[in-house]
């Protein structure tokens, strides 16, 4: 939830989509406090990747919060989530749950390692996925230790793949009238 999902939706917002970011009540998005630098009390990191977005605070662990998100999803075109597979399903906000009330929805799940497989339940972090994919092995000095790239390339690539898949999904929905599920993950973006 740090960069891949916010970057995908940032691109949608840059093209004019109305993007509504759901944040935790009280604390909000963790990246609000990343810094310095800050503009007032907001981190410039948060402001840059969440530009062109509206934010609402909803407790998705509470049934009332789940109801709010479902009501919002019913009138949205796209639903982007950046959780470990199954976490939102356990709360009633998985693809199957949202599809029942919004069969038109383009539901994009961004994970570390995909929906299934031995690593699927691990949280996805750019640096770890970069190492697992072999990206770090091909950076740095020849015959030297693996080196992390200077930017979060794995998160950024995954965000771009998600953005492109969402745009393609919207075109497909225009042709078929049906929504769909998109599975993007950090590891596949690098492999």
* C-beta of residue 154 within 8 angstroms of C-beta of residue 126: yes
Please give the Cα distance from 173 to 168 (Å, whole number): 9
Q: Answer with the residue of higher pLDDT: 11 or 29.
A: 11
Please give the Cα distance from 105 to 60 (Å, whole number): 19
- Given pLDDT bands bounded at 50, 70 and 90, which one contains residue 27? confident
How does pLDDT run across 57-111, given as a tens digit for each residue?
Answer: 999 999 999 999 999 999 999 999 999 999 999 999 999 999 999 999 999 999 9
* CB crowding 50-79: b at 16 or more within 10 Å, else e: beebeeeebebeeeebbebbbeebeebbbb
How buried is residue 176: exposed, middle or buried, by Cβ count under 10 Å (0-12/13-18/19+)?
exposed
Q: Which of 77, 99, 155, 183 is catalytic?
A: 155
Among 34-38, 78-82, 105-109, 164-168, the least confident range: 34-38
* C-beta of residue 146 within 8 angstroms of C-beta of residue 131: yes
Find the radius of gyration of the CA atoms of the chain: 17
- The CATH number of whichever domain residue 78 belongs to comes to 3.40.50.10540
155 catalytic per annotation: yes
* C-beta of residue 81 within 8 angstroms of C-beta of residue 88: yes
Average pLDDT, the chain: 95
42 lies in which domain range?
Answer: 4-190
- The model's pTM is 0.94
pLDDT at 2: 80
* C-beta of residue 93 within 8 angstroms of C-beta of residue 69: yes
Q: Summarize the confidence of residues 148-176 as an average pLDDT.
A: 97
Count up the domains in the chain and report the number: 1
* C-beta of residue 173 within 8 angstroms of C-beta of residue 107: no
Q: Summarize the confidence of residues 160-167 as an average pLDDT.
A: 99
pLDDT at 61: 96
Which of these, 135, 169, 175, 171, lies nearest to 155 by C-alpha position?
A: 135
Sign of the torsion formed by the C-alpha atoms of 87, 117, 73 and 55: positive
How does pLDDT run across 104-161, given as a tens digit for each residue?
Answer: 999 999 999 999 999 999 999 999 999 999 999 898 888 899 899 889 999 999 999 9
pLDDT at 118: 96
E strand or H helix at 163:
helix 153-176
Q: Summarize the confidence of residues 165-171 as an average pLDDT.
A: 99
């Amino acid at each position: 939830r740090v960069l891949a999902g916010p970057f995908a939706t940032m691109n949608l917002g840059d093209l004019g989509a109305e993007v509504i970011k759901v944040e935790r009540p009280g604390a909000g998005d963790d990246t609000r406090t990343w810094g310095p630098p800050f503009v007032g009390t907001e981190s410039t990191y948060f402001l840059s990747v969440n530009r062109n977005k509206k934010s609402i605070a909803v407790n998705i662990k509470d049934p009332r919060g789940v109801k709010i998100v479902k009501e919002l999803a019913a009138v949205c075109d796209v639903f982007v989530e950046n959780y470990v597979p199954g976490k939102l399903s356990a709360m009633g906000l998985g693809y199957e749950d949202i599809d029942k009330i919004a069969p038109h929805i383009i539901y994009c799940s961004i994970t570390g390692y995909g929906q299934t497989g031995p690593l699927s339940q691990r949280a996805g972090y750019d640096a770890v996925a970069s190492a697992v994919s072999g990206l770090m092995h091909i950076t740095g000095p020849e015959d030297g230790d693996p080196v992390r790239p200077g930017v979060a390339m794995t998160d950024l690539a995954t965000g771009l793949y998600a953005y492109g898949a969402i745009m393609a999904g919207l075109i497909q929905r225009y042709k078929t009238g049906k929504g769909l599920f998109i599975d993007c993950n950090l590891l596949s973006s690098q492999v």
